Amino acid sequence: MLRTVSTRLSCISCGGGISLLRKPVCLPHWTPTTTNFESPEQRRGKSYYASDLEGPPELYTDFEKSYAEWKWVERMIPPKTVPLRPATPGKVFPSGWTVPNPPKNCSYYIPRNKNHMVPVYTLTWDRGQIRETRIKFVEGNIWALERDVGKFLKSIFPYRIISTYTQECARFVGIKGDHTEQVKEWLIKRGF
């Protein structure tokens, strides 16, 4: 049974209760957590390691093992690897994603990342004041890729200074400035 005292609701039997949604709710009575049902004064000196590991079985709910619903659980588990890409090279999907079809006579190769995307990234420093575009995972003649990217960007931006550099050991080409979208489109048109 609940009663109202000023703006707080309290239970007549235990004195507890609260209303968060403007509805009277009685809080459950305190139940001891140990199996020997000691008073709080008797438990005060005990350590965590001296406490009981389990309570009596009637305190726990029943369960049963069922493998009938396992097919629904398997759908929620993510795959360990990304599914293979379609086998038709050059096919364009409605989302705009293109299956790679690299040119045969090119001296370098840029594989897609594990999500089948072109590995071109933008890096920022100094709170976004300095930006750099990087083409990662380059295989083959990395200097030929740097030269070709420089020519392509110079054709788009004829009055800008295009600064590029290579890191042969790290297998990437760096370009000063944010040219990520232009470089991605250029690599996709070339078949990478």
- Name the pLDDT band for 90 (thresholds 50, 70, 90): confident
What value does the mean pLDDT take over residues 98-102? Answer: 86
| 153 half-sphere exposure, CB direction, 13 A CA radius | 23
Torsion, Cα of 115, 79, 171, 97 (10° steps): -10
> Is 108-190 assigned to CATH 3.30.780.10?
yes
Q: What is the mean pLDDT of the chain?
A: 79
pLDDT, position 163: 95
* 4-24 pLDDT tens trace: 444 444 455 555 555 444 445
| Contact indicator for 98, 188 with CB cutoff of 8 Å | yes
- Specify whether the CB–CB gap between 2 and 9 falls below 8 A: yes
pLDDT at 92: 83
**Band of pLDDT at residue 44, cut at 50, 70 and 90:** low
- Model pTM? 0.57
- The yes-or-no verdict on residue 3 having pLDDT over 50 is no
| Residue-wise burial string across 96-110, b where 16 or more C-beta atoms lie within 10 A, e elsewhere | eebbbeeeeebebeb
Four-point Cα dihedral 143, 148, 152, 158, nearest 10: 60
| Tokens coding 33 | 């957590």
In this predicted structure, the answer to whether residue 161 has a pLDDT above a threshold of 60 is yes
Domain range annotation of the chain: 1-29, 108-190
